[in-house]
Amino acid sequence: MHKIIFIIILLFCWSTSYSQSTTKPQVLIITTGGTIASKTNAPSIEGHDLIQAVPELSNYATIEVDEFVNIGSSKMTPLLWLQLVKHIRDALNSNPEIKSIVITHGTDTMEETAFFLNLTHQSKVPIVLVGSMRSSNEVSADGPANLINAVRVGISPEAIGKGVMVVMNDNISAGRDLLKMNNRRVDAFPSTDLGFIGFCDPEKVTFYRSPIKPHTSESEFHIYNLDSLPKVDIVQDFAGFDSKILTYFTNRYNQGLVISSFAGGRLSNGFSEIYNLPATHKPIVISSSIKGGRIMGSNPEGTPIIIANDLPSNKARILLMLSLTITSKINEIQDYFNKY
Ligand code: ASP
């Protein structure tokens, strides 16, 4: 009798460990459109079809697909970002077994969506954004390999705590640092000053670095209860800039302004009046249009000016929007720009 009971227990333990070892991690793929879901001279691909076209995905994970939107990412908006981060929270609340979220996205605003989610996704569950530079029906389309790599990165135990990541062309970038630097090439996202955090090789995903700037569950930006985000505009400086343009942007309805300046934060004479504005004026962030290095120095006391450090204008806009959900005090906002 004891022998039979012992054999039953043994069988039970074996079957449990066997099912655990063979049960693949659950990955939710949220599709949003972009070139990865497009076909040249044909309508774009619906989310489920996009994923079904890459059956190899199920070698790595149990895949659930959810089509959030199907747009060219140049049509992405702050409202869609807000709805997306809530959508992700709801998905994780309804299925705590999800080990990772992969988001297929167009490359035009991929760096902005990644930066936004990196500051607002209040969870350690890894998010990996992925796209492609070639449409799905082009020769050597890069979408399928990028998608498989994104899932492999998302389920990698080392991905936990790395913040939002982006996988393109076998490279893993930190969501904060990504920059699109080419309009067409498959390596449109080269490593920035800060370098890739890891790589996807055929047999192994390897991480070499972790972002140190706070992100995801370490971030102070809790926005799940908001229905909209503060409005922030970007103005590009240029030689001979007309100050009337600045007057238009400072007078129009927005809660803040980002100036895309010359290197080092230098501005044309058309902007000189901002140095005479009081600190009670809506915040004006100076961000360099040069995609390398940071603006040195600190923000001039008693003015509404904030220095964006190494953030380009599109990301500085997002950080200002999020900062304004908490405060409109200039020095407190500058602290966020020094911290994030
Ligand atoms: N038009 C595309 C987009 O949605 C470009 C791409 O995905 O590569 O951003």
pLDDT of 136: 95
How many CB atoms sit inside 10 A of residue 122's CB?
A: 16
The closest-lying atom of ligand 1 relative to the alpha carbon of residue 36 is 7
Report the alpha-carbon distance of residue 74 to residue 327 in Å, rounded. Answer: 29
Q: Ligand 1 centroid to 70 CA: how many Å? A: 11
Q: Give the least confident one: 6-10, 11-15, 18-22, 70-74.
A: 18-22
Q: Hey, which of 35, 50, 169, 187 would you mutate to test ligand 1's pocket, going by the most ligand atoms within 8 Å of its Cβ?
A: 35
Residue 109 Cα, ligand 1 centroid: separation in angstroms? 8
**pLDDT tens sequence across 259-297:** 999 999 999 999 999 999 999 999 999 999 999 999 998
Q: Which residues are catalytic?
A: 35
Q: Which atom of ligand 1 is nearest to the CA of 108?
A: 9
Residue 1 has pLDDT above 80, yes or no: no
Classify strands 305-307 and 165-168 as parallel, antiparallel or unpaired.
Answer: unpaired
Average pLDDT in the chain? 95
So what's the pLDDT on residue 17? 61
Q: Residue 84 Cα, ligand 1 centroid: separation in angstroms?
A: 18
**Residue whose C-alpha is closest to residue 60's, from 17, 99, 14:** 99
CA of 205 from ligand 1 middle (Å) equals 26
CB neighbours of residue 333 within 10 Å: 23
Four-CA torsion 5, 9, 12, 17, nearest 10 degrees: -160
Q: Could you tell me which of 141, 139, 137, 144 has the C-alpha nearest to residue 104?
A: 144
pLDDT of residue 106: 98
Chain CA centroid to CA 219, Å: 14
Contact 210/161 with Cβ under 8 angstroms?
yes
Other beta carbons within 10 Å of 206: 12
Ligand 1 site residues (CB inside 6 A) read: 34-35, 72-74, 106-108, 131, 133
pLDDT greater than 60 at residue 79? yes
Q: Which of 74, 109, 146 to mutate to test the pocket of ligand 1 (most atoms within 8 A of CB)?
A: 74
What dihedral do alpha carbons 337, 228, 224, 28 form, nearest 10°? -100
Which of 7-16, 44-53, 99-108 shows the lowest mean pLDDT across its residues?
7-16
Structure tokens at 178: 């990504």
Angle at 67 between CA 61 and CA 70, to 5 degrees: 130
Q: What's the pLDDT at 21?
A: 54
Minimum-distance ligand 1 atom for the alpha carbon of 35: 7
Q: Which of 138, 146, 192 is nearest to 170 (CA)?
A: 146
Write down the pTM of the prediction.
Answer: 0.94
Atom 3 in ligand 1: which residue has the minimum CA distance?
106
> What does the pLDDT look like over 138-183, one tens digit per residue?
999 999 999 999 999 999 999 999 999 999 999 999 999 999 999 9
HSE-up of 132 (CA within 13 Å, CB side)? 24
